[in-house]
Amino acid sequence: MIIVFVMDSYGNFSNGTTATARRFASYLRARGHTVRIIAAYSDQAKNEKDYYPVSPFKLPIFQPLVDKQGFTFAKPDKETIFQAIKGADLVHLFLPFPLENTARKIAESMNIPVTAAFHLQPENITYTLYLGKRKMVSNQIYHFLYKHFYKYVKHVHCPSKMIENQLITHGYTNNVTHVISNGVVPQFRKMEIAKPDSLKNKFVILMIGRLSREKRQDLIIKAIGKSKYNSQIQLILCGIGPNRCFLERLARRKLVNPVILKFVKQEELVKIINYSDLYIHSSDAEIEAIACIEAFTCGLVPVISDSPISATNQFALTDKNLFKNGNYKSLQERIDYWIEHPEEKKKLSERYIKYSEQYQIENEVEKLEKVFFTAIEENKNGEAKPKVKYTKIQTKKNLAFEKEIKKLKESK
């Protein structure tokens, strides 16, 4: 197959969707497929194979916030998109933005099947805008994304059962959903790694993820601050994001040992996971949290928020792996429990290593590959696109768009 991945941001390794796209592309290529990439230009990605860069797009007013989130929007350059899609068997869209929507329309005009993924949880937006607990706003975003993007695509990749249920609940009736984990690469495995000298006598607690409001790293800091083992605990937060300064200030007030905040490359991250003592995933909202899978694949026992809009709690093997959503006292109790029960933690670590085998990326890529083959076969039979009723204005716009693409075809 010749597959085209379309996503705005492909160069920033701190972005979870970027990491997923890169891994899927690598493993699909290893299976003999060609994978082309359409994304905003980035120095980090300029040497990428089959890379079709478009110009970045600066969002008025909110661009500084977008930068802090480690994201880049892309301009929907029709000519570049056309060149990348020409001759492809399938186009896969990672996000619901103008770049991807334009690619969808061009692919359809060329009779090339389109699939999509649901990686943008509405709460990622509402928490950033200090509207995290406004369920009505999240519902409106779900509705907007369906109306303007997802209702036009039949097959949708959902990284978890939780997000699939959210789509069903919010009326995504045109879609066939496929629950496929983003998968963990084999570099993440149990290793005997000694702690650095500065941490030898510390109980190391780790969380990996963007430093943003919905991730709730503040709960970890408050919980450690209340723990009777505060002086023995070293907190490491791996990630970047707009909440960094707030977390640093909070940590100075609550923690005996200064928090370590840093973004690290995969090789160092594997080492940190393997010398840590406990992993915490405190997010209020999460589509999957591949970082949590990476942690317990290495045998690091997790403690996870039981938030109903976080899929990560699906990884809890016991009730001691969960704490009450948003409740730092509940988290503090779990931290103290695992410090006091090292033998139980050791046994559970072995269970987690065995449990993690089902999330190996080879299995997940094979599942996604089957979705792609299904979409291609359906396209041959005229069954690839959902039935959509267009308004007169939409029909007029579609005809104008078709004329543009026709000119591109004729000029090449």
Same domain? 60 vs 173:
yes
DSSP for 229-244, please give it: TGGGEEEEEE---TTH
| CA atoms within 13 A of residue 21's CA, in its CB half-sphere | 32
Q: Is 409 among the domain residues?
A: no
- Neighbouring CB atoms inside 10 A of 230's CB total 16
Q: Is 124 among the domain residues?
A: yes
Sheet containing 155-158, strands listed edge to edge, beginning at the edge strand earlier in sequence: 51-54, 34-40, 2-6, 90-93, 114-117, 155-158, 176-179
Q: pLDDT tens, 307-339?
A: 999 999 999 999 999 999 999 999 999 999 999
Res. 131: pLDDT tops 90: no
Name the residue among 337, 330, 254, 253 with its Cα closest to residue 301.
337
Mean pLDDT score, 121-135 = 83
The mean of the pLDDT values for the chain is: 92
Residue 412's pLDDT band (cuts 50, 70, 90): low
Same domain? 201 vs 234:
yes
Res. 302: pLDDT tops 90: yes
Q: pLDDT tens, 149-198?
A: 999 999 999 999 999 999 999 999 999 999 999 999 999 999 999 999 99
* Domain at 293, CATH number: 3.40.50.2000
Select the more confidently predicted residue: 344 or 62.
344
Same domain? 129 vs 253:
no
Identify the three-state secondary structure at position 195.
Answer: coil
Q: pLDDT tens, 240-255?
A: 888 999 999 999 999 9
Express as a percent the part of the chain with pLDDT over 90: 78
> Per mean pLDDT, which range of 66-80, 217-231, 279-293, 296-310 is the poorest?
66-80
pLDDT at 60: 76
Domain count, the chain: 2
Q: pLDDT tens, 2-53?
A: 999 999 988 766 677 888 999 999 999 999 999 999 999 888 878 888 999 9
pLDDT at 13: 65
Same domain? 30 vs 61:
yes
Q: Is 401 among the domain residues?
A: no
Phi, psi of 391 (to 5 degrees): -75, 170
Same domain? 348 vs 228:
yes
* Contact in structure between 303 and 335 (CB atoms under 8 Å): yes
* Contact in structure between 151 and 174 (CB atoms under 8 Å): yes
Q: Is 189 among the domain residues?
A: no
Separation between Cα atoms, residue 215 and residue 125, nearest integer Å: 12
Res. 357: pLDDT tops 80: yes
Q: Is 155 among the domain residues?
A: yes
Break the chain down into helix, strand, coil percent, rounded to 5: 50, 15, 35
DSSP for 68-126, please give it: HTT--EE---HHHHHHHHTT-SEEEE-S-SHHHHHHHHHHHHTT--EEEE----HHHHH
pLDDT at 388: 83
Structural domain boundaries, residue 119 = 2-183+361-387
Res. 411: pLDDT tops 80: no
Tell me how far CA of residue 296 lies from CA of 142, 242, 364, in angstroms: 31, 27, 17
Q: Is 318 among the domain residues?
A: yes
Separation between Cα atoms, residue 224 and residue 323, nearest integer Å: 14
> 299, exposed or middle or buried, with CB in 10 Å at 0-12, 13-18, 19+?
buried
Q: Is 48 among the domain residues?
A: yes
Same domain? 171 vs 247:
no
Res. 293: pLDDT tops 70: yes
* Eight-class DSSP state of 198: G
Q: Is this model's pTM higher than 0.85 or not?
A: yes
Res. 58: pLDDT tops 90: no
Res. 410: pLDDT tops 80: no
Same domain? 147 vs 271:
no
Same domain? 379 vs 263:
no
Same domain? 152 vs 201:
no
Q: Is 412 among the domain residues?
A: no
Residue 382's pLDDT band (cuts 50, 70, 90): confident
Res. 286: pLDDT tops 80: yes
pLDDT at 387: 80
Same domain? 67 vs 90:
yes
Q: What length is written for the chain? A: 412
Same domain? 220 vs 72:
no
Mean pLDDT score, 132-140 = 87
Same domain? 208 vs 342:
yes
